[in-house]
Chains A and B, each alone.
Chain A
Amino acid sequence: MGKKPDLSEVSCPIPIHNQSQVLLGHGSGGKLSADLIREVFLPAFKNPLLEKLNDSATLQLNDCKLAFTTDSFVVDPVFFPGGDIGSLAIHGTVNDLAVGGARPLYISAAFILEEGFSIEDLKRIVASMQRACEASGVALVTGDTKVVDKGKGDSIFITTSGIGVVENNHNISVDGARAGDKIILSGAIGNHGIAILSVREGIDFETELKSDSASLVAPIREILEVSANIHCLRDPTRGGLASTLNEIAQASKVGVELKETSVPVCDQVRGACELLGLDPLYVANEGKFVAVVAPQDTDNVLRRLRKNPLGGEAAVIGEVVVEHPEMVLMRSPIGGKRVVQMLAGEQLQRIC
């Protein structure tokens, strides 16, 4: 009490601060996740590389610049339209390397299996992982397996780490956005989160939506070839586009202005979000990225991106501004502006 917080809440209503227990919201990629990182992990592991909080860490080893990242995957259900936990794990880690400007090379995978999990299902997942590796040009070179008692593991958890090589001199970082830069989104948002919801227990709806889980290595490599002035690259996974843009605004200490009508969202995602009271800006994506680009290169980057099958719906959705630093504003379809907050906990369906 008495402390002035720097962020307020967008979904209804506000989580209690000063948690003594881990909540699901701590894993949602929003403000609670950021709190956990700031209050527990950063103070313990203080070092300048970690403090950058990029999707992957860039390491200088002699003459070689490497990118290194890790990620865990706990998605439920394990098989969903458009993918499974295995392909998700490979794409997720490969993408974290790619948005650091790196060429992904090697992956490790650690499996935590629940006693009783079907070996047939495990084979299916592993085959899917191999296909994803091939598509991304990486090799899975080391791994580990543990088994936990039934009831303690929710089928399967996968942790992947990845190493890539940075072969260019691009300076791509979450704190690199500058006033005047344009913000490009590679395609329509919300498909992954809604596809997962459609097969989860408790919500019952039919849709042809599939997860957009995909390797972004090719489209990112292609745009890096046409521009040396891409300042930030980030993939809006948990927490959605809104959380990613807030992270960029805060790290770069700039303002962001979006135009709602420019943000691509497919009809089915819109329908599901209207029905359930969700905002597509906060729904997870697994095959999209945001590029913050110097204004003079924007047209070239957009044109190149649109030529790639994964970037066909790419669009300029906004720009970086000097005003309202660390805040993301969005112009609504009818002209007014609203603040787009960082997701606080998980996004909850509302009926209000």
Chain B
Amino acid sequence: MCLSVPGRILDITEEDGFKMGKVDFSGVIKRICLQYVPDIQVGEYALVHVGFAIARVDEKEAAKTLQLLRELDEMQDEPDGESSS
């Protein structure tokens, strides 16, 4: 049971003792519980599963992953032991 989707935090409020947020998924907006990501800021992206944000998306790492994949066809076979993460 793993379906989780990244969404952008639009606002952060407190409701009934919980940190809650309005999260934007390509124009569809849903209220999500942010209790598990207390440091997240408006404008950042969170990974959301069944109404809860369970992680912050690290945009730098995201860009790094894509850049590495783009460079794959330019790379020669690298020597053993090199890691991509």
Q: Interface SS of chain B: helix, strand, loop or mixed?
A: strand
Contact with A along B23-51 (1 / 0, CB 8 A): 01111111100000000000000001110
Q: Which residues in A have their C-beta under 8 angstroms from that of B31? A: 204
B1 close to A270 (CB less than 8 A)? no
Contact with B along A258-270 (1 / 0, CB 8 A): 0000000001101
Please, which residue of chain A has its CB at the minimum distance from the CB of B25? Answer: A271
B28 close to A352 (CB less than 8 A)? no
Least CB distance from B3 to A in Å reads: 5
Q: Which residues in A have their C-beta under 8 angstroms from that of B25? A: 271-272, 274-275
Please, which residue of chain A has its CB at the minimum distance from the CB of B6? Answer: A274
Instruction: Give A272 to B25 CA distance when docked, in angstroms.
Output: 7
B26 close to A351 (CB less than 8 A)? no
Binds B, one of A133-141, A157-165, A205-213: A205-213
Contact with A along B1-17 (1 / 0, CB 8 A): 11101010000000000
B50 close to A268 (CB less than 8 A)? no
Please, which residue of chain B has its CB at the minimum distance from the CB of A272? Answer: B28
B3 close to A267 (CB less than 8 A)? no
Please, which residue of chain A has its CB at the minimum distance from the CB of B2? Answer: A352
Please, which residue of chain A has its CB at the minimum distance from the CB of B48? Answer: A275
Instruction: Give A207 to B25 CA distance when docked, in angstroms.
Output: 10
Instruction: Give A83 to B30 CA distance when docked, in angstroms.
Output: 23
* Residue A350 interfacial (CB < 8 Å): yes
A-B contact count, CB below 8 Å?
48
Least CB distance from A154 to B in Å reads: 27
- 8 A Cβ contacts from A263-318 to B: 267-268, 270-272, 274-275, 277
Q: Which residues in B have their C-beta under 8 angstroms from that of A270? A: 26
Q: Which residues in A have their C-beta under 8 angstroms from that of B48? A: 275
Instruction: Give A351 to B7 CA distance when docked, in angstroms.
Output: 16
Given contact pairs A351-B49, A351-B50, A207 touches B28 in the complex (Cβ within 8 A) = yes
A277 close to B27 (CB less than 8 A)? no
B30 close to A275 (CB less than 8 A)? yes
Please, which residue of chain A has its CB at the minimum distance from the CB of B26? Answer: A271
Tally of chain B residues near chain A (CB < 8 A)? 16
Given contact pairs A351-B49, A351-B50, A206 touches B28 in the complex (Cβ within 8 A) = yes
Least CB distance from B61 to A in Å reads: 21
Question: Which of the residues B1, B5, B26 comes within 8 Å of A352, measured between beta carbons?
Answer: B1
**Interface size bucket, A side?**
10 to 19
B5 close to A267 (CB less than 8 A)? no
B3 close to A350 (CB less than 8 A)? yes
Q: Which residues in B have their C-beta under 8 angstroms from that of A274? A: 5, 25-26
| B29, B48, B50 pick with most chain A CB within 10 angstroms | B29
Please, which residue of chain B has its CB at the minimum distance from the CB of A206? Answer: B29
Instruction: Give A208 to B26 CA distance when docked, in angstroms.
Output: 11
Least CB distance from A261 to B in Å reads: 17
B5 close to A275 (CB less than 8 A)? yes
Instruction: Give A23 to B29 CA distance when docked, in angstroms.
Output: 31
Question: Which of the residues A204, A268, A351, A352 comes within 8 Å of B27, measured between beta carbons?
Answer: A268
Instruction: Give A205 to B7 CA distance when docked, in angstroms.
Output: 13
Instruction: Give A274 to B28 CA distance when docked, in angstroms.
Output: 10
A271 close to B49 (CB less than 8 A)? no
Q: Which residues in A have their C-beta under 8 angstroms from that of B24? A: 271
Instruction: Give A182 to B55 CA distance when docked, in angstroms.
Output: 44
Q: Which residues in B have their C-beta under 8 angstroms from that of A204? A: 30-31
Given contact pairs A204-B31, A351-B50, A268 touches B26 in the complex (Cβ within 8 A) = yes
17 contacts between A and B (CB under 8 A): A198-B28, A204-B31, A205-B28, A205-B29, A206-B28, A206-B29, A209-B28, A268-B26, A268-B27, A271-B24, A271-B27, A274-B26, A275-B25, A275-B28, A277-B3, A350-B3, A352-B1
Contacts A272-B28, A350-B3, A351-B50 supplied; 8 other A-B pairs, CB < 8 Å:
A204-B30, A206-B29, A207-B28, A267-B26, A271-B26, A275-B30, A352-B2, A352-B3
